[in-house]
Chain A
Amino acid sequence: MREKFQHLMVTTLLVLFLSSPAAAAGYYIGIQGGAGFVPDATGRDSGGSVNFTYDAGYDGSIMLGYNLGEKHPNIGRGRLELEFNTASNDINGAEFVEGKVGVDGSAKRTSIMVNTIGEYRTQSGMIIYALLGLGWADISLDNVSILGAPFVDDSNSQLAYQAGLGIGWNLSEHFIFDIGYRYYGTTDPEFTKQDGTILDYEYASHRVLAGFRVQF
């Protein structure tokens, strides 16, 4: 999966960087909000594996970045940004061999990412971009209980990565509206369960975001 990820992003960035028309350069700040959809996650311990299912949850980011514009033609056209994001999804079920049962609790994420964005501006002014990010994430399973029995309440820090596509419009010279999709993943976190044993977990999210950027 990581090889696919790398191939996808190298291809994307090359295509976009080599074909972008003119864009203004400068620093920007931005904010994005939307929904996060966490795919079914498998938790493994010495007793075997259990699949956990999630509700859709909130996902939000603030960004501080720099638009390369045309000042660095040897690099290409795009942006480099620092993103702080947070998300939460309620866990709604745990699937065992015998079937699915209800779960209370949530998975929360706090993360800081360094993103590189390649942009392509159409003749109509629409911005099409692809994003590749790498960073750090703190993942927590908060007050997770299965059928009322406490299961896990712990957090773990892992390497994080994301890739995404989006489109944007210049609402004014310095104000840009942006919507996009990002696939976000981490290396597999480990949590200590209530009984003291270790739960090998996995975390990923499909992020659907909309927001604004103000460029200086």
Chain B
Amino acid sequence: MGLRTILLSSMLFLLSGCWTDDPTQHNTFIPLTSIEVRATYQSMADKTVNQYTAIGDFSGSFTRDITGEVSWVIENNTVAEVSNAAGSEGLVTALSPGETSITANYEDLSGSGSVVVTDAVLTGIEIMPQDAELQVGITQQFEAAGTFSDNSVQDITMLANWESSDMNVAAIDNAGLATTLASGSTTITGAWQNIESGTLLTVTDDTLNTITITPAEATIAQGTSQQFKAEGSYSDGTVMDMTDMVDWQSSDNGIGIVYSDGLAEGIAPGEADISASFDVGGDTVSATALLTVTDTVLQSIIVTPENSTIQVGQNQQYTATGTFSDGSEQDLTRIATWLSTDDTVGIISNSSFSRGLFISTGPGTTFIEAFFNGIGDETLLTVVEQ
């Protein structure tokens, strides 16, 4: 009895000290060798904002978003200004039409990009989501997409003034984040530059039963990402996209991290559970998906559709599909950098909610290019008159 107790206790004691938590520190020992400056929009309308991002390449070993670590400088401060304030680093505000350059400086390294401010004026606002039906206790991010006189589209969520017609049913803050308070209906309005748009928000008292994550299992290469979505099933049978409402967590941040919008990024080979949970009146409803990160290497990218033709005024969604060293394929649309070689024909979006979407502005031909980790592909697009 004695020896068995001793041995069992010893094993438990030893096992309790055999693992460590995941590291939280970034590697600053590998030198930063280059900085790439990316913009959400290639051009921006006057008085709008455009988020610029600095991506650091650390000796080819890895890349990391260093937007908050660099010092941002605009060449011509009469065209635009850039923020270096904590939380809004790299946010460019257009002051007057014109062109200038923006530089991200980090010690003795820098990376530059162009800032193009057009004289386009706002012609319409689209509020998303439209006619939402939510349950009590839910937060919903409303977004305002502004359409401008040059047919460009920009996110003006942060610029718009937001109002709820019935603050007892739902409240909304200056960033467009609504919180449902009681069953009923209210109109959510977003307004900017004397143009406003509204949408109906209906609040019900149904209860959340389950959450489902899709995909339930995902395999991605190290350094790439996977968008997870969470859907909630309510007592009345309705199913609602809760991707932006749930609390996303990874069981192992050393293998994969997941952001608040459900976008998971593969850090190192291995497996991690991705969970989504939602608190309803003290009760938590949750679900889990499996993320497998492999050490495969990106070998090529294919942009589709290839060699297509559209009419002026039409939009086209492009997809970037990566092929990896193990033969697997992965959708890289959301993480690739997109470029249209002739912006008189149209622009292609690099914004989070419309990445890869080409918006035509005039007739002609342009090459649509997508890049990721130094590998890219291009395809010809012809835009013809209607």
Chain A contacts with B in 3-37, Cβ cutoff 8 A:
4-5, 7-8, 11-12, 15-16, 19
The residue in B9, B10, B21, B29 that gathers the most chain A C-beta atoms within 10 A of its C-beta is B29
Residue of B nearest to A165 (CB): B10
Between A and B, how many residue pairs show CB distances below 8 Å?
A: 99
A1-B13, A128-B3 known, 18 other contacts, Cβ within 8 Å: A4-B9, A4-B13, A8-B6, A8-B10, A11-B5, A11-B6, A12-B9, A15-B6, A42-B23, A45-B25, A49-B24, A51-B20, A97-B23, A97-B253, A98-B26, A98-B27, A99-B62, A99-B268
Neighbouring B residues of A94 by C-beta, 8 Å = 29
What 1/0 mask marks residues of chain B from 1 to 34 whose CB sits below 8 Å from any chain A CB?
0110111011011101111111111111110000
A1 contacts which of B5, B16, B20 (Cβ < 8 Å)?
A: B16
**A40 contacts the other chain (CB 8 A):** yes
Contact partners of B23 in chain A: CB under 8 A: 42, 48-51, 95-97
A49 touches B25 (CB 8 A): yes
A105 within 8 A of partner (CB): no
Contact check, B25 vs A96: say whether CB atoms are below 8 A apart.
yes
**Cα–Cα, bound, A7→B64 (Å):** 47
Which residues of B sit under 8 angstroms from A204, Cβ to Cβ? Answer: 17
B29 x A1 contact (CB < 8 A): no
Q: List chain A residues, Cβ under 8 A from B16.
A: 1, 4
Chain B residues contacting A130 (CB-CB under 8 Å) are: 6
Q: Is the CB of B9 within 8 A of A96?
A: no
Which 5 A-B residue pairings sit nearest by Cβ, starting from the closest? A48-B25, A15-B2, A48-B24, A96-B27, A146-B29
Tell whether, in the assembled complex, residue B13 and residue A101 are in contact, meaning their CB atoms are under 8 Å apart.
no
Q: Measured between C-beta atoms, what is the minimum distance from A45 to chain B in Å? A: 8
Verify if B124 is at the interface (C-beta below 8 Å from A): no
Question: Interface of B with A (CB < 8 Å)?
Answer: 2-3, 5-7, 9-10, 12-14, 16-30, 58, 61-62, 64, 253-254, 267-268
**CB nearest neighbor in A for B6:** A12
Contact B17 A185 (CB under 8 A): yes
The distance from the CB of A67 to the nearest CB of chain B, in whole angstroms, is 21
A120 nearest CB across to chain B (Å)? 8
Are A11 and B267 touching (Cβ within 8 A)?
A: no
State A95–B252 Cα separation when bound (angstroms). 14
Interface pair A42/B20, CB less than 8 Å apart: yes
Complex CA gap A41/B17 in Å reads 10
Q: Considering the chains assembled together, what is the distance between the CA atoms of A159 and B18 in angstroms?
A: 20
Can you give 29 A-B contacts (C-beta < 8 A)?
A1-B16, A4-B13, A5-B13, A8-B6, A11-B5, A11-B6, A11-B9, A15-B5, A15-B6, A16-B2, A39-B18, A45-B25, A47-B28, A48-B23, A49-B23, A51-B21, A96-B23, A97-B26, A97-B267, A98-B26, A99-B27, A101-B27, A128-B3, A149-B29, A165-B6, A165-B7, A183-B13, A183-B17, A206-B14
Nearest to A13 among chain B residues (CB) is B6
B26's contact among A39, A48, A149, by CB below 8 Å, is which? Answer: A48
Complex Cα gap A163–B20 (Å): 21
What is the minimal beta-carbon distance from B339 to any residue of chain A, in angstroms?
Answer: 27
Interface residues on A, range: 35 or more
| CB atoms of A41 and B26 under 8 A apart | no
Contacts from A to B (Cβ < 8 Å): 1, 4-5, 7-8, 11-12, 15-16, 19, 39-42, 45, 47-51, 94-99, 101, 128, 130, 146-147, 149, 163, 165, 183, 185, 204, 206
Partner of B19, one of A1, A11, A40, A96: A40
Smallest CB separation, B160 vs chain A (Å): 36
Alpha-carbon gap, A130 to B6, bound state (A):
9
Residue from A39, A41, A99, A165 having most chain B Cβ neighbours under 10 A: A99
Task: Kindly list chain B residues whose C-beta atoms are within 8 Å of the C-beta of A96.
Answer: 23, 25-27
Q: How far is the CB of A41 from chain B (nearest CB, A)?
A: 7
**By the criterion CB–CB under 8 Å, are A95 and B29 in contact?**
no
Instruction: Please give, as numbers and ranges, the residues of chain A lying within 8 Å of B268 by CB-CB distance.
Output: 99
Q: Are B2 and A49 in contact, with the CB atoms below 8 A?
A: no
B21 to chain A, nearest CB (A): 6
Q: Tell me, in angstroms, the Cα distance from A163 to B21 when the chains sit together.
A: 24
Query: In the complex, A94 Cα to B28 Cα: how many Å?
Result: 12
A residues less than 8 Å from B19 (CB atoms): 39-40
B269 to chain A: closest residue by CB: A99
A105 to chain B, nearest CB (A): 13
A138 to chain B, nearest CB (A): 21
Which among B18, B23, B64 has the highest number of chain A CB atoms within 10 Å? Answer: B23
Contact A97 B21 (CB under 8 A): no
Least CB distance from B9 to A in Å reads 5
- Shortest CB distance A126–B (Å): 12
Whether the Cβ atoms of A50 and B25 lie closer than 8 Å is yes
With a cutoff of 8 Å between Cβ atoms, the chain B residues found around residue A128 in the complex are 3
Neighbour of A19 across the interface among B2, B25, B27, B58, CB < 8 A: B2
For the complex, give the distance between the alpha carbons of A151 and B190 in Å.
53
Contact A7 B9 (CB under 8 A): yes
- Residues of the A chain whose Cβ atoms lie less than 8 Å from the Cβ of B62: 98-99
Whether A39 lies near B10 (C-beta < 8 A) is no
Whether A101 contacts B30 in the complex (CB less than 8 A), given A42-B21, A95-B254, A204-B17, comes out as yes
Contact A147 B29 (CB under 8 A): yes
Collect the chain B residues with CB atoms within 8 Å of residue A206's CB: 14
Known interface pairs A41-B20, A147-B29; A98-B5 also in contact (CB < 8 Å):
no
